[in-house]
Amino acid sequence: MIVVYGLKNCDSCRKARSWLSDRGLAHRFHDLRADGLPQSRLEAWLTALGWETVLNRRGTTWRQLPEEVRSGVTAKTAAALLADHPALIKRPVFELPDGRVIIGFTASQQAALAETGSG
């Protein structure tokens, strides 16, 4: 089963969940704010994809951070920042049954999701 991590009010997450349902792909949703995120899960994403891929620099939360925080983010500080501010995690995050992790919902990411079947 595909696990979709995101925020319940995120448009991209809602579109992704609807897209998965429309294609009959079994999935469950994990809200990063309401359900939290184990540090081990975040660390796995950072290891697999790199902090620069996981960090969402386009959202309101990022823009509201002080400039010294934004300019000082490094591989060493990113995990703590993302844990403290779940909205800074690029969304949606998909964990596939085969262990792969996909972040985002572009056409190429949709194609990769479609290949997974319903697991």
Active site residues: 10
Q: Rounded CA gap, 116 and 95, in Å? A: 11
Cis peptide before 66 (omega within 30 of 0): no
CA distances from residue 58 to 3, 27, 95 in whole angstroms, order as listed: 23, 26, 22
